[in-house]
Amino acid sequence: MMAKKCRKKDYHPYIDKYMDDCRSGVNIVGNDILLAMDYIELKLNDPDVFIDAEKIDKAVELMERYFEIKLFDWELFVTALIHCYYKSDDTVVFTTIFIMMGRGNGKNGFISPISWYLTTHYHGIKGYNIDIVANAEDQAKTSFKDIYETLERTWAKSKKFFYKTKEIIVNLKTKSYIKFNTSNAKTKDSKRTGCLVFDEVHQYETYDNIKVFTSGFGKRKHSRAFYITTQGNVRDGVLDDMLRISADILNGVIKDLRWLPLIYRIDEEKEALDPRMWNKANPSLKYLET
């Protein structure tokens, strides 16, 4: 039995607790997540890294209040890691956030408040536009609709800060928009985009439609791209390629990419028959069990 790894330092309570719970067995996670903890710790131990605790705490407070939710531990963990920066050039530590997990984990329920928050003045970047992309319009609209409905419910207050239609949401203070897109768009000016969200990456056979949105992307301060997905059935497509890159990152073969790969899945097929092991693919499961 391997000895439990201990953190070399404290980062932020949301990072520390999740890291400790994964390593100690409090959270039942697969080997990919354990490797991710080591990789993340290596990244955060760089003396040039600054973790903005004030922004992390404000982001969580706002998302939970406006969306009337209680964020799960993995969601708090990701929220904290989004707010890690290099002091020397004021860039983000993780520019690509790749999250794969089983169905029913509420990944859209997380990406919706995060997208909303990133447009606010509390995040602090003007023109930080959010483009949500999926193969099908219904899927692309999922997170957008969540945000729209939250604004509707809170409109007495939110109308001071947001403009909304069924196609676009704009933060009036930062002039940042949230839009949904289907991946069959022919052209896209990604120079204006601060954050890209690709939903259900497993549906992409090639990078062709993704490149429409990523070409020219990264010009905005603190640009980030989220790739969120379930496993899916398309083999040798974009998802399998991203899994290969993630494996090389987590095993130390690739060292210079600013990826955050969080791959939630079982380690062996037989674990699918053990309900306890389902937590490996479903980090929200412990909150949903009755």
Distance CA 254, CA 218 (A): 21
Residue 1, pLDDT score = 41
Please state the separation of Cα 57 from the chain's center in Å: 17
Residue 7, pLDDT score = 83
Of 117-121, 137-141, 251-255, 282-286, where does mean pLDDT reach its minimum?
137-141
Strand partners, 97: 226, 260
Average of pLDDT values for 100-124?
A: 92
Residue 13, pLDDT score = 98
User: Quick check: 121 pLDDT over 80?
Assistant: yes
What is the SS3 string spanning 254-280?
CCCCCEEEEECCCCCHHHHHCHHHHHH
Please, what's the b/e burial string for 203-223 (b: 16 or more CB within 10 A of its CB; e: otherwise)?
bbeeeebbebbbeebeebebb
Average of pLDDT values for 267-284?
A: 94
Measured from the Cβ of residue 199, the count of other Cβ atoms closer than 10 Å reads 24
Kindly tell me the burial class for residue 61, based on how many C-beta atoms sit within 10 Å of its own C-beta (0-12, 13-18, 19 or more). exposed
User: Quick check: 248 pLDDT over 70?
Assistant: yes
Cβ atoms 195, 115 nearer than 8 A: yes
The domains of the chain are located at: 13-288
Please, what's the b/e burial string for 49-59 (b: 16 or more CB within 10 A of its CB; e: otherwise)?
eebbeebbbbb
User: Quick check: 3 pLDDT over 60?
Assistant: no
Of 165-179, 213-227, 249-263, where does mean pLDDT reach its minimum?
213-227
| CATH placement of domain 13-288 | 3.40.50.300
User: Quick check: 9 pLDDT over 70?
Assistant: yes
* H helix intervals, the chain: 13-24, 31-44, 53-67, 73-82, 107-118, 137-153, 155-158, 208-214, 238-250, 278-281, 285-288
* Confidence label for 5 from pLDDT (cuts 50, 70 and 90): confident
Average of pLDDT values for 263-269?
A: 95
User: Quick check: 118 pLDDT over 50?
Assistant: yes
Non-local (6+) Cβ contacts of 223 within 8 A are 92, 95, 193, 194, 195, 217
Average of pLDDT values for 278-290?
A: 88
Residue 187, pLDDT score = 55
Which residue carries 């070409």 as its tokens?
215
User: CA torsion, points 83, 222, 180, 60, in degrees to nearest 10?
Assistant: 20
Kindly tell me the burial class for residue 278, based on how many C-beta atoms sit within 10 Å of its own C-beta (0-12, 13-18, 19 or more). middle
* Confidence label for 204 from pLDDT (cuts 50, 70 and 90): confident
* Confidence label for 105 from pLDDT (cuts 50, 70 and 90): confident
Percent of residues, the chain, with pLDDT higher than 90: 74
Residue 219, pLDDT score = 86
Higher-pLDDT residue of 105, 127: 127
What's phi and psi for 60, nearest 5 deg? -65, -45
What's phi and psi for 248, nearest 5 deg? -65, -35
Mean pLDDT for the chain?
92
Residue 190, pLDDT score = 60
- DSSP helix/strand/coil, 33: helix
Measured from the Cβ of residue 129, the count of other Cβ atoms closer than 10 Å reads 25
pLDDT tens track for 34-73? 999 999 999 999 999 999 999 999 999 999 999 999 999 9
Strand partners, 225: 96, 196
Q: Taking the model in full, what pTM does it have? A: 0.94
